[in-house]
Amino acid sequence: MIASDSGNFSNFWDGLISFLANGLTAASWWQMVLVALVLTHITIASVTIYLHRHQAHRSMDLHPVASHFFRFWLWMTTGQVTKEWAAIHRKHHAKCEHEGDPHSPHVFGIKTVFWKGAELYRAESKNPETMARYGHGTPDDWIERHLYTRYSALGVSLMLILDVVLFGVGGLAVWALQMAWIPITAAGIINGIGHWWGYRNFEATDASTNISPWGIIIGGEELHNNHHTYPTSAKLSVKPYEFDIGWMYISMLRALGLATVKKLPPKMAFGEVKPVADEKTLEAIIANRYEVMAGYARELRAACQREVDGIKARSADVAALDAARRWLHRDDDKVPADIKPQLARARAEHPVLDKMVTMREELRALWSSTNATREQLAADLQAWCRRAEESGIASLRDFSIQLRSARA
């Protein structure tokens, strides 16, 4: 009898050790890595589709089945409260790069946002004024009040148990990666690097950048400058070479009847060239002002390059023009202070560039003015086009002619 009990006890411990080592799946290390990557990708897709595009910006509607799946998944994998996320993100857009922005690297510093972005988020989530002002329209049903919000930590605890049951002790590593994924990618990389480093398609009023033209790892959120330019768009890619995997998933959901897209980036249309720009032309230009200025920036960079080529042919110094090529098309408040003297020198030495920069600011005034009437702005546009076409600068003339063909 004693020997039997001893054998049963030994078998129990052997079984327990085997279970802790292998879990129910007995997955190899690379299989656990693959599962972890799939799980974290579903989480980032849930953040970008449900929290960001659906809840915070209302750029799309989700079928209740899809909406609740994302809500449940985020509760299990992040402990995220929908109202908190949406409110903090809306405040970020309202106060972007200024005092009150919950996580701007230009307010807190890039190191703080990158390494402590999750802490900044948690601190802001305890601000009742933020929740009251920016948290409207988020779920407030029975399950939200009694489970998802009230027991927000319960979901991640259940996820930990599930990971250990499936993978044994290795499940702890899978769970740790799941818990770190959003703080690193969203709080650190997007909120930090996405306002510090990268390329800009558009001169949005903030410092947002596109980290990569291919938005795959972070669900398309890598295209952050595009998003800040068109925040209510369900699609974050705007250029032919850009890819937004979140938009791909939304398109699949839409095909299944599980999503309805409400808004996309505006697309500038062109028709016959009008003899004179009119109020309809003005309307089209203002509606597509970011695309207009992006086109103007291309012309300005091309003009800089022509000046550079001419100077190189004479074996002269091109340092100032190299700086000009990178910064002349940017808004003045986005240009580093140490670069401004080089830009001033480039403008003084190259009248074509100086004229193009001056006319860029005059063009921007068409939608920056708050007092002028539509009739006055249309007259200002006509005068701008006339000056551009009489400037003797081919790129200005061609750009003006294209503007006169713009359609709303």
Tell me the C-alpha distance between 324 and 146, whole Å. 58
Local structure of residue 183 (DSSP, 8 states): I
**pLDDT at residue 317, rounded to an integer:** 64
Q: Which of 172, 170, 161 is nearest to 27 (CA)?
A: 170
Helix ranges, 127-200 (H): 128-134, 142-143, 152-167, 170-182
Q: Do the beta carbons of residue 264 and residue 66 sit within 8 Å?
A: no
- Please state whether beta strands 406-407 and 259-261 pair in parallel, antiparallel, or not at all (unpaired): unpaired
Q: Do the beta carbons of residue 32 and residue 177 sit within 8 Å?
A: no
Render each residue's pLDDT in the chain as its tens digit; 408 residues.
455 555 565 666 666 666 667 788 988 999 999 999 999 999 999 999 999 999 999 999 999 999 999 999 999 999 999 999 999 999 999 999 999 999 999 999 999 999 999 999 999 999 999 999 999 999 999 999 999 999 999 999 999 999 999 999 999 999 999 999 999 999 899 999 999 999 999 998 899 999 999 999 999 999 999 999 999 999 999 999 999 999 999 999 999 999 999 999 988 899 999 999 999 999 999 999 999 999 999 988 888 888 777 776 665 567 777 777 788 888 888 888 888 888 898 888 889 889 999 999 999 988 887 788 989 999 999 999 999 999 999 999 999 999 999 987
Please state the φ and ψ torsions of residue 169, each to the nearest 5 degrees: -60, -35
Q: Which helix (H) or strand (E) holds 11?
A: helix 2-22
Q: Do the beta carbons of residue 378 and residue 276 sit within 8 Å?
A: no
- Please state whether beta strands 60-62 and 259-261 pair in parallel, antiparallel, or not at all (unpaired): antiparallel
220's CB contacts (< 8 A; 6+ apart) are 48, 236, 237, 243, 244, 245, 246, 247
User: Helix or strand or coil: residue 288?
Assistant: coil
First to last CA, the chain: 91
**pLDDT at residue 10, rounded to an integer:** 62
**Amino acid present at 59:** S
Residue 243 pairs in a beta bridge with 214
31's CB contacts (< 8 A; 6+ apart) are 25
Residue 406 pairs in a beta bridge with 270
Local structure of residue 330 (DSSP, 8 states): S
Length of the chain: 408
25's CB contacts (< 8 A; 6+ apart) are 31, 166, 167
Residue 210 pairs in a beta bridge with 199, 223
Please state the φ and ψ torsions of residue 205, each to the nearest 5 degrees: -75, -10
**pLDDT at residue 19, rounded to an integer:** 62
**pLDDT at residue 45, rounded to an integer:** 98
**pLDDT at residue 323, rounded to an integer:** 76
DSSP-derived secondary structure for 357-401: HHHHHHHHHHHH-SS--HHHHHHHHHHHHHHHHTSS-HHHHHHHH
Q: Tell me the pTM.
A: 0.89
Helix ranges, 47-148 (H): 64-77, 82-94, 105-108, 110-125, 128-134, 142-143
**pLDDT at residue 316, rounded to an integer:** 56
**């922005």: which residue's tokens?**
101
